[in-house]
Structure 1
Amino acid sequence: MNRLENATSPYLRQHADNPVDWWEWSDEALAEARARNVPIHLSIGYSACHWCHVLARESFSDRETASVLNDHFVNIKVDREERPDIDQVYMSALHALGQQGGWPLTMFLKPDGKPFWGGTYFPPRPMHGMPSFRQVLEGVSDAWKRQDEAVLQNSQALTDHLNRSARSGNAVPGAETLAQSTRRTLEIWDREHGSFQGGPKFPNAPVLEALWRASIRDDDDDARQAVLTTLRHLCQGGIYDHVGGGWARYAVDAQWRVPHFEKMLYDNAQLLALMSWAEATAPSGLFRARIAETIDWLVREMQLPGGGFASGLDADTEHEEGLTYVWSLGEIQSLLPAEDAQLFAEVYDASAGGNWEGTNVLNRLQPSSFGEMDAETEDRLRRARAILLEARDRRPQPGRDDKILADWNGMTIRGLAAAALACSRPDWIELARHCYRFVRTEMTDGDRLLHSWREGTRLPVGMATDYAQMIAAALALYGVEADPVYLADAERWFTAADGFHFDAEKGAYSLPARDAAALFATALSNRDEATPSASGIMLQNAARLFNITAKDLYRDRAEAILKAATAQIAADPISTASLQSGFDELLRGRLAVAIRADAETFARLVGEGDPALLAIAVGDPDDLPAGDPLLSKVSYAKGAATFVCDAFRCLPPATDAGSLDEVLRQTRRGFASA
């Protein structure tokens, strides 16, 4: 019996008609495996995953394959976005087996949930040195029936490996650790196209943030150019949807020409923040345009009633990858006047023969169109894109995963707030507020956050990443409005995250709560993937809360995380980028509290483009409620002034543009350098 019909996850419901006897992850499913004494076939994917759909069509919809699955396994289907804790612990197991990860993730488990073998996608027939999926199933089943010693040894070895505790260091590392990480990252950077050398190309947003912070902290132009080169190629490459806005998950090549067409909320949220910091420091028509176009896309295609944002759009439309997004030259010529069609084709690399599988993926990577053109030409192109979008909207559309995830929406709130400040768009602040209110109202249970919401159904599973990102969102909005409600939310969610997720022995946050159903190993969230780890963001949050409130508990937590992560940062600067950003926040995080500030003064603060600087606008200190921590920093302000402060001290107030610029310059490396 297939049990997915009533699942909350759209991805699971896509498999409700499979002839496979699917279970959701549950104690009942594991009990069924124990009762039958058969292994578990665990399949993990997500709705926008192209190869997940391919495996479903080729194998899960095939009755003969389903018969093998049903006869010899208990089959569990998991949405990695809904249960990132399960995904992380079994993906780590696959890596421990020496295999490259990816989705769909296919793992085989003992009835107690301990893994013994796995892989990713398997074809329906043997090809390219890969066994067929059915051969894999038969081989695993035979080994299980024989109680093959290798199976049992694999399971125990994997469990021991994944449960091995990381040992904490004895001291907080020095700033040189960050400089070394920056140098090692830049050694493998593609200076021409951005991101890491070779393809496929991913945005790697946590790494970009760490490099951006390094460029400010160390006045490192190499790091700055590495980020800006990447952002420009992200703006002009085929990975960007030039007609509808928004970025795809990644490009399949080394030049950003052809995307893997799925669009994920988390990529776009993180890139909004990065583009906004870049736009703030060096105003650019390119960055500003992409920010606005992407927010238009979020509102048009991703925002749901109530204000929350959906998780993603599929790569496939009607089982064909990219069908919605690609163009023939004839289509362009039929929609636009001849002169506009010729201009559009030249600028966006469209030809009769196509640039991808006989069709055209629009991009502006040619030297003649990579930069910004004159205003009249850009306006003609804008009108042409609007015509193409109207036509594209009449095509079949990719499926949308409309579950709302607290952590990804927290990232989106932060991205919208950064964009609103950089581009002076108060309407985008309202979008951020609306989303925040939804999560705060619909996705909480007392002081605890919930991970997922869909059509009124809430999953009673909160992840450490939900707390981390919603605390960051609350602090971002606190900076915009100085509303003590946001600070109170951040503090109570921090308390909940510490109580339910912090592992004091390991100095890191576990992804699932300690009162959640236990998995075979602890899923620590201390390594970045496409999104930053909970431990990295919580380190940033702790450092920021310490600077606002001067409460020792936040400094102590930040230092505990950092001590535990010292060896990890030194060994692997790529997967620890968010921890490096948290370290940067601890070193040089500061507040700029602007009292009775005019627009020009606040624009100077935003213009730093520095994620380690929290600019807070306060109209009149007398309006702050009693006990507000900002009162201790600005209580003697008489007129318009800006106070740049850390937890315990403020520099003399800046009362004019020159003194403000000097104070900001002095503190870019932290108060120790002021």
Structure 2
Amino acid sequence: MKSNRLINENSPYLLQHAHNPVDWYPWGEEALQKAKQDDKPIILSIGYSACHWCHVMERESFENEAIGKFMSDNFVCIKVDREERPDIDQIYMDAIHTMGLNGGWPLNVFLTPDGRPFYGGTYFPPQNWGNLIQQVAHAFKHNRKELEESAEGFKQALNESELEKYGLIHQNNNFSLRDLEIIYQTIEKKFDKEHGGVGNAPKFPMPSIYLFLLRYYHLTKNENALKQVELTLQSMAYGGIYDQIGGGFARYSVDGEWFAPHFEKMLYDNGQLVSLYAEAYSLTQKDLYKNVVYQTIAFVQRELMSEEFGFYSSLDADSEGVEGKFYVWTEKEFDEVFENEEDRELAKEYFNITAEGNWEHGYNILHINPQSLLVSSTTNKVREWKEKLFKAREPRIRPSLDDKILCSWNALMLKGLCDAYAAFGESEFLDLALKNAQFIQEKMTSGSRLFRNYKNGKATIPAYLEDYSLVIQAYISLYQVSFEEKWLYQANALAQYAIQHFYDHTEELFFYTDDSAEQLIARKKEIFDNVISSSNSIMASNLYFLGILLDNRAYKAMSETMLAKISPLLKKEVRYLANWACLYTYFLTPTVEIAISGEQLFSFAQQIHKRYFPNKVMVGTLHQSKLPLLEMREAKQEKTLIYVCRNKTCLLPVSTANEAWEQMVSN
């Protein structure tokens, strides 16, 4: 079978297109020079390995000989894996939005030979795509001047400052509980109070929203905020978006009820949701949340972990070319799993199995009705049913695995493991976290520099701000559960690198790309949350906590300035700025500093971690340490002591976790 240039790439997504009858190029100097040299427009097609509609468009259009020949003859065709090159994806997704078009993947953008966008879209059926490429080729030859003018206009719009675009010229350092209430009210209006979540279908998990609501509840004791978090977490855990048999969450639900998932499973979702459910458990002590955390970590270990303790990126939505086929059941398939008729009928009621199917083509998506009496009365039975169904499902043809390892997504899973250890004290979670951190350190780090990707023993792409911010965040968390100081110092080294190479001293925010990175048509800053929180908001939070942990006032000042620039937007639309809103809550009350010194360090730390108190930092040593918060705070006469402080002012040391807790909540 004839192959194109993508055959030499590492990305599973690019390799999926290596035998298309399209003369695909990977993004790089060769393709860009070819476009200029031949004076041809560029088709830039961006997607990812687990993307269902990317597969559909490939089958329908990119495997079509006639379409492939026309594309190759009239364009320079470039394929990009958005997960490897989020910088490219970000620019051209912004371009599509600037054009007033809906974005999504596959993302297909038409560019001038020098890389400026002039038209695009997402998925096109084959006839539409065939017509479109002919029209664009004709327009490029006969209406070149108009296309060039349009492309220049889009380029200028892409280079407009984010702060200027949203009128954030004057910063507001006055953070207040009154404004926090306004921020909360903007999102409360969009609560789905029947099914949980925010807004309508499709529904994405968006964990940062619920982490904000938890922090808001912690400050205000507003029961409606907690109620919405609990409704959402329960609805997701019982819905089809959660794999009821194998654990782990799909990327999103196509409906408003969390019932029908888009079946791909992404590492970044599962890492963040482990953190969210673990944190919610520490507040509510609900077994449902604990079960979700344990089952999701088991799924990640089983299906997304490499032998080197790196985590792979995703599982496809499709198997055998059919979306969701691995996960859904006909009534007949389900019945065959159970020999006992009583068990069979109970299990069918519990998982909502019907003869005609609750989804499409006679298939059933397993989901649970929380109102069913079975939910509370059949715990042990459900465990047995799930084991039988899991065993019956195992021989099926599996969805394909995207086995590239991404730095930032690993960091999200690493933080999830730290948060799970904090909530449950499960030593296996901490052990796995340390192994993954060591993997990142050994395979994806060079000094104070990170790499974005790792596959086949190689890390090749320089990291983005997303990678730096999330690894720093994960290392800060890892230090506070392991008390191994090397992780805190490495977090600081990475922060120093980011400040030196990503920071814009004019606007006092961070660029998404390193100053030594490839120069694209725009250098962007990410301030809005997507399915992952914005990299600037994560960096601002990192600087806040590193500022306290390392007694670095400059870090805290940078964090405050960054938040102040964005805070006017929070009162308008917090839905896509929820991680900034989390940081906002930290500035409203002093962060509690907990220093533990002595042989009972881990026992005391675990007792404190298990209770919900988000606005805290914890440092600890078995003997002595040079960390600022531990100086002059040694154990006395083999007695472990806990110091509870605010703004470096400490209460009298105590010798039990309960006494420390009382001091923490007393102000």
TM-score (norm 1): 0.93
For the pair 1:494 / 2:490, whether they are aligned, the reply is no
Question: What is the distance in 2 between the residues matched to 1:653 and 1:171?
Answer: 37
The question of whether the paired residues in 1 share the 8 Å contact of 2:253 and 2:260 is answered with yes
Question: What is the distance in 2 between the residues matched to 1:53 and 1:10?
Answer: 12
Q: Secondary structure at the match of 1:458?
A: coil
Query: Which residue of the partner structure matches residue 651 of structure 1?
Result: 651
Q: Secondary structure at the match of 1:456?
A: coil
1:367 to 364, 371, 386: 371
Identity, in percent, stands at 34
For the pair 1:163 / 2:163, whether they are aligned, the reply is no
For the pair 1:335 / 2:337, whether they are aligned, the reply is yes
Partner AA of 1:230 in structure 2: T
Query: Which residue of the partner structure matches residue 669 of structure 1?
Result: none
Report the alpha carbon displacement of residue 647 of structure 1 after superposing the two structures with TM: 5.1
What does residue range 70-109 of structure 1 map to in structure 2 within 5 Å?
70-109=72-111
Deviations 1:556-598 (A, max 9, x none): 2212312332333334312211122223334443332234447
Query: Which residue of the partner structure matches residue 518 of structure 2?
Result: 517
Query: Which residue of the partner structure matches residue 569 of structure 2?
Result: 568
Query: Which residue of the partner structure matches residue 255 of structure 1?
Result: 257
Q: Secondary structure at the match of 1:41?
A: strand
Query: Which residue of the partner structure matches residue 634 of structure 1?
Result: 633
The question of whether the paired residues in 2 share the 8 Å contact of 1:233 and 1:365 is answered with no
2:181 to 169, 179, 182: 179
For the pair 1:147 / 2:143, whether they are aligned, the reply is yes
Q: Secondary structure at the match of 1:643?
A: strand
Partner AA of 1:58 in structure 2: E
Deviations 1:426-459 (A, max 9, x none): 1111111111100110001221000000111212
The question of whether the paired residues in 2 share the 8 Å contact of 1:654 and 1:663 is answered with no
Query: Which residue of the partner structure matches residue 624 of structure 2?
Result: 624
Deviations 1:248-303 (A, max 9, x none): 00111111111110000011100101100111112122111111111110111010
Question: What is the distance in 1 between the residues matched to 2:142 and 2:646?
Answer: 64
Query: Which residue of the partner structure matches residue 136 of structure 1?
Result: 132
Question: What is the distance in 2 between the residues matched to 1:112 and 1:649?
Answer: 58
Query: Which residue of the partner structure matches residue 612 of structure 1?
Result: 615
Q: Secondary structure at the match of 1:75?
A: strand
Report the alpha carbon displacement of residue 149 of structure 1 after superposing the two structures with TM: 4.3
Report the alpha carbon displacement of residue 544 of structure 1 after superposing the two structures with TM: 0.5
The question of whether the paired residues in 2 share the 8 Å contact of 1:173 and 1:566 is answered with no
The question of whether the paired residues in 2 share the 8 Å contact of 1:40 and 1:76 is answered with yes
Partner AA of 1:398 in structure 2: P
Partner AA of 1:339 in structure 2: E
Report the alpha carbon displacement of residue 117 of structure 1 after superposing the two structures with TM: 1.1
Partner AA of 2:211 in structure 1: E
Distance of aligned partners of 1:570 and 1:32 in 2 relative to their CA distance in 1, 3 Å threshold: farther
Query: Which residue of the partner structure matches residue 546 of structure 1?
Result: 547
Partner AA of 2:376 in structure 1: M
Distance of aligned partners of 1:577 and 1:199 in 2 relative to their CA distance in 1, 3 Å threshold: same
Distance of aligned partners of 1:111 and 1:567 in 2 relative to their CA distance in 1, 3 Å threshold: farther
Query: Which residue of the partner structure matches residue 312 of structure 1?
Result: 314
Distance of aligned partners of 1:293 and 1:630 in 2 relative to their CA distance in 1, 3 Å threshold: same
Query: Which residue of the partner structure matches residue 286 of structure 1?
Result: 288
Query: Which residue of the partner structure matches residue 195 of structure 1?
Result: 197
Query: Which residue of the partner structure matches residue 9 of structure 1?
Result: 11
The question of whether the paired residues in 1 share the 8 Å contact of 2:23 and 2:72 is answered with yes
The question of whether the paired residues in 2 share the 8 Å contact of 1:539 and 1:583 is answered with no
The question of whether the paired residues in 2 share the 8 Å contact of 1:506 and 1:564 is answered with no
Report the alpha carbon displacement of residue 390 of structure 1 after superposing the two structures with TM: 1.5
The question of whether the paired residues in 2 share the 8 Å contact of 1:39 and 1:73 is answered with yes
Deviates more, 1:278-287 or 1:569-578: 569-578
Query: Which residue of the partner structure matches residue 531 of structure 2?
Result: 530
Partner AA of 1:26 in structure 2: G
For the pair 1:45 / 2:47, whether they are aligned, the reply is yes
Question: What is the distance in 2 between the residues matched to 1:105 and 1:611?
Answer: 38
Deviates more, 1:571-580 or 1:528-537: 571-580
Deviates more, 1:568-577 or 1:108-117: 568-577
For the pair 1:663 / 2:666, whether they are aligned, the reply is no
Query: Which residue of the partner structure matches residue 124 of structure 1?
Result: 126
Listed as ranges, the gaps of 5+ residues in structure 1 are 126-131, 667-673
Q: Secondary structure at the match of 2:301?
A: helix
Report the alpha carbon displacement of residue 602 of structure 1 after superposing the two structures with TM: 3.7
Distance of aligned partners of 1:189 and 1:433 in 2 relative to their CA distance in 1, 3 Å threshold: same
The question of whether the paired residues in 1 share the 8 Å contact of 2:462 and 2:517 is answered with yes
Report the alpha carbon displacement of residue 636 of structure 1 after superposing the two structures with TM: 7.5
Distance of aligned partners of 1:600 and 1:320 in 2 relative to their CA distance in 1, 3 Å threshold: same
Deviations 1:179-219 (A, max 9, x none): 32211011111112111132111111121222221111222
For the pair 1:462 / 2:466, whether they are aligned, the reply is no
Deviates more, 1:516-525 or 1:397-406: 516-525
The question of whether the paired residues in 1 share the 8 Å contact of 2:597 and 2:634 is answered with no
Deviations 1:491-534 (A, max 9, x none): 00001111121122233222221111111111212111100111
Deviates more, 1:389-398 or 1:638-647: 638-647
Report the alpha carbon displacement of residue 42 of structure 1 after superposing the two structures with TM: 0.6
Question: What is the distance in 2 between the residues matched to 1:241 and 1:531?
Answer: 21
Partner AA of 1:248 in structure 2: A
Q: Secondary structure at the match of 1:459?
A: coil
Question: What is the distance in 1 between the residues matched to 2:485 and 2:395?
Answer: 46
Deviates more, 1:158-167 or 1:26-35: 158-167
Q: Secondary structure at the match of 1:76?
A: strand
TM-score (norm 2): 0.94
Q: How many residues align?
A: 654
